[in-house]
Amino acid sequence: MTEEKVLEVLVGIRKCKGITKKELAKRIGIDAGYLSMIEHNKATLSLRRFLQICDTLNVSPQDVLGARRYLGRQDFLGEISQKLLPDEMELLLGIAQIMCDRRDLR
């Protein structure tokens, strides 16, 4: 998995958990601007920082690195969402939110 994909997964997890860049940066002891540079691949994500971020987001490094099998499905989800009725899309988004919330409880 490329560094760009790892960053994409980490940013997605951060957003799913409702954590701002500023909050995450504070928790791992770095400046929010520096975290932004890391997330936009303008600064190197060291192994130490990667592990800190994973720990703070309460996700295993293996799960982050294993997420590549799901990344290709984004196009499929976009395609499907265009075919859903508004109430069906609302239901799907509700299910996704429940899944994110359940992860936070683990």
Do 66 and 78 belong together in one domain? no
Number of folded domains that form the chain: 2
Do 7 and 34 belong together in one domain? yes
Would you state the pLDDT for residue 3? Answer: 86
Q: Is the pLDDT of residue 80 over 80?
A: no
CATH number of the domain that residue 22 is part of:
1.10.260.40
Look up residue 6 and give its two tokens: 């790892």
CB atoms within 10 A of CB 101: 12
Taking each helix axis from N to C terminus, what angle separates 32-39 and 3-16, rounded to the nearest 10 degrees? 130
| Residue whose tokens read 């540079």 | 37
CA distance 16 to 13: 5
Do 56 and 81 belong together in one domain? no
Identity of the residue numbered 65: L
Tens of pLDDT along 66-77? Answer: 765 554 455 556
Q: Which domain holds residue 32?
A: 1-71
Give residue 104's pLDDT band: very low, low, confident or very high (50, 70, 90): low
